[in-house]
Amino acid sequence: MDIIKIMASGGQLTPGTRQELPQFTVEELRAAVDEAHRVGLPVTAHAHAAQGIRNAVEAGVDGLEHATFWSEDGIDEPGDMIEAIARKGIVVGATVGLVPIAGVTPPAAVLKRMPFVIANTRRMQQAGVRVVAGTDAGISPLKPHDALRYAVPRLVNLGMTAADVLMTITSVAAKICGLAHRKGRIAVGYDADILAIEGDPARDPGAIHRIRAVYRTGNLITPSS
């Protein structure tokens, strides 16, 4: 599926970026959204800044990545924006999934804000916003390409049940990505992408780390492949 991603505000990885500031006006974002929708493409906005989030929501985006409400000194109060995000059915890709590595921590600016980001994301989940796992996998040793499995306890912490979490990272994710017709479930005609683990992750979230086999389109993926 093709999708348009636009930077409603910046991020930590670009030197000199002021991610607490919006990068586009509502009118500019709306022009991008209207044009994308005209040809049948959804739009998701990378948005940390509170004003960047507001601009993206007003412009009619389909998704928000991060949605941290980042300010110069901390995290802004979302105000009426959580209700607006829920009302418009905008999907929020929460930045979850962090691998614990001794002596390695996220940037100080992120650590300082993390409790408030978690609290706001929990408020979104409780308000009925569809929150999914946007891991930022691959950006650092703390976020390797299999970071998704480390998102499970964080999603539980947001208020989801273990069953909700399993659906969020499988069938719900597939639906949002436009792949629900062939991925996210084990069913006849689907791609047979299967993670075989030891234990019941609905009862023991830690079981997701006890991986015994990985299949992609029905083919066993070995450690050397």
CA atoms within 13 A on the CB side of 195: 17
pLDDT exceeds 70 at position 123: yes
Q: Is 191 contained in some domain?
A: no
State the helix-helix crossing angle for 26-38 and 50-59, rounded to 10 degrees: 40
pLDDT exceeds 80 at position 171: yes
Mapped onto helix, strand or coil, the DSSP state of residue 120 is: helix
**Domain count of the fold of the chain:** 1
Taking CA atoms, 41 is separated from 79, 84, 90, 129, in Å, by: 29, 22, 15, 21
Distance of CA 17 to the CA centre of its chain: 21
Q: Which tokens is 197 given?
A: 């683990």
pLDDT value of position 225:
46
Q: Is 154 contained in some domain?
A: yes
Q: Is 223 contained in some domain?
A: no
Q: Is 192 contained in some domain?
A: no
Burial (CB < 10 A; 0-12, 13-18, 19+), residue 147, is buried
Helix, strand, coil % in the chain, rounded to nearest 5 = 35, 20, 45
Q: What is the CA radius of gyration of the chain?
A: 18
Q: Is 193 contained in some domain?
A: no
**Structural domain for 143, as ranges:** 4-160
Q: Is 112 contained in some domain?
A: yes
* Cβ contacts of 41 within 8 Å, gap of 6 or more: 2, 3, 4
Q: Is 147 contained in some domain?
A: yes
pLDDT exceeds 80 at position 161: yes
pLDDT value of position 15:
81
Arithmetic mean of pLDDT, 108-127:
95
- Which of 16-20, 110-114, 166-170 is least confident? 16-20
Q: What is the CATH number of the domain that holds 90?
A: 3.20.20.140
Q: Is 41 contained in some domain?
A: yes
Question: pTM here?
Answer: 0.92
Give the model confidence (pLDDT) of 180-219 as tens digits. 999 999 999 999 999 999 999 989 988 999 999 999 999 9
